[in-house]
Structure 1
Amino acid sequence: MDEEIQGLIMRMSDPNEKEAFYFADKLGTKLDENSLAEVYKLVKGDNWEIAYLACRALSKSSFNEQSLDVVFEAIYDKKNRPHQGAFVQVLEEFDLSQRFVDIFRVYLFGNFKAQTLAKMYLDEVEFDITPRTLRKVEKHWNHYLHNPEDEGSLELKKQEVVPILEELRELFSED
């Protein structure tokens, strides 16, 4: 791995570094094929702050699109649940048009901040929706219906999700 990239990773990962965001952003602009695996390891690591900064670096990189799977793995990882909202917030730097199902899953199963941000993305992003997207969304919704957080949240979610599902179904209903 290139010395400059190694230095940026060290500065970004230093808990005493006051400019960690700057170094994460700079790392993103310098990332190459050889250093990508190292940044993926940081995303999957045990320190959520470094994982978040690594996600931020990926969002600034030319590997932005292909890195989304790794970022969503960090979002879904149970160890990151208390900080899930931070990981979901970094998604604003990515093209989410192909990720309706992932965002919907975060909306259903994320912590409060993650759900709030996911709802914002659902409302604001222009997604590419296919019949397969609808089937996957319905599968996640059925799972949620049978495993709600609590009865009160189930009613609130129904008020939000049922219109979304109806809108999606209308897209693919035969005239």
Structure 2
Amino acid sequence: MQEDIQKLFDRMCDPKESEAYFFADKLGGVADEETKEKLLELVRGDNWELAYLACRSLSKTKFQEEGLDVIFETIFDKKNKTVQGAFVQILEHFDLSNRFVDVFKVFLFGNYKASTLAKVYLDEVEFDVTPRTIRKAEKHWNHYLHNPEDEGSVAVKKSEIEPMLQEMRELFS
């Protein structure tokens, strides 16, 4: 079995392989604990294209939650600022219902593409929201307000976020 898994890894990681997505999906279908660790190493690695394929593979496993932890770390890693959008895009293959705060942070602090994709998730995913979730989101919102990267975007984000937070607060009042 390990030989088959290694062959899938080799095919997925081959830069000349035109079917890399197919092999990533197939690898995800047979992933065990050892495979998961190798995939997580790829996600943390320096080759963002292999990291993307590893993310795709992780989305097909029973290790989605662990995969999401590492993917969000990767999104916020400064070295990936220019390719954040690709990592945010792959999130569509994961269950994000318990990840409101992480997606919210991407919306606030991500580059343009990452922020735009995160906004789509915020609008379309049905999140499990608790009062604690709202408090965490408000903490990040306040941090953003006091440390904006782009002064011009504050008004735009304010018009989107404040009604969202208010609506969520009303759910629990």
Q: Which category of TM-score, normalised to the shorter sequence, fits these structures?
A: over 0.9
Counterpart CA distance in 2 for 1:66 and 1:106 is 18
TM-align CA RMSD: 1.2
Post-superposition Cα deviations, 1:105-126, rounded to whole Å, max 9, x if no partner, equal 0000011111111101111111
Give SS of 1:17's match. coil
Q: Tell me the amino acid that sits aligned with residue 40 of structure 2.
A: Y
* Counterpart position of 1:20: 20
Higher mean C-alpha deviation, range 65-74 or range 128-137:
65-74
Counterpart CA distance in 2 for 1:39 and 1:2 is 14
Give SS of 1:86's match. helix
Counterpart CA distance in 2 for 1:128 and 1:35 is 30
* Counterpart position of 1:143: 143
Post-superposition Cα deviations, 1:57-114, rounded to whole Å, max 9, x if no partner, equal 0001122233211111121111111111111111111111110000000000011111
Query: For residues 63-102 of structure 1, what are the structure 2 equivalents within 5 Å?
Result: 63-102=63-102
Counterpart CA distance in 1 for 2:40 and 2:150 is 35
TM-fit CA distance, 1:15: 1.2
Q: Is the 8 A contact 1:29 1:62 kept in 2?
A: no
Post-superposition Cα deviations, 1:128-156, rounded to whole Å, max 9, x if no partner, equal 10110011000000110011122211111
Give the share of equivalent positions with the same residue, in percent. Answer: 68
Counterpart CA distance in 1 for 2:140 and 2:35 is 35
* Counterpart position of 1:112: 112
Q: Is the 8 A contact 1:101 1:133 kept in 2?
A: yes
Q: Tell me the amino acid that sits aligned with residue 49 of structure 1.
A: E
1:171 aligns with 2:171: yes
* Counterpart position of 1:39: 39
Q: Which runs of 4+ in 1 moved over 6 A?
A: none
Structure 1 alignment gaps of length 5 or more = none
Counterpart CA distance in 2 for 1:149 and 1:52 is 26
Counterpart CA distance in 1 for 2:62 and 2:25 is 12
Counterpart CA distance in 2 for 1:40 and 1:3 is 19
* Counterpart position of 2:11: 11
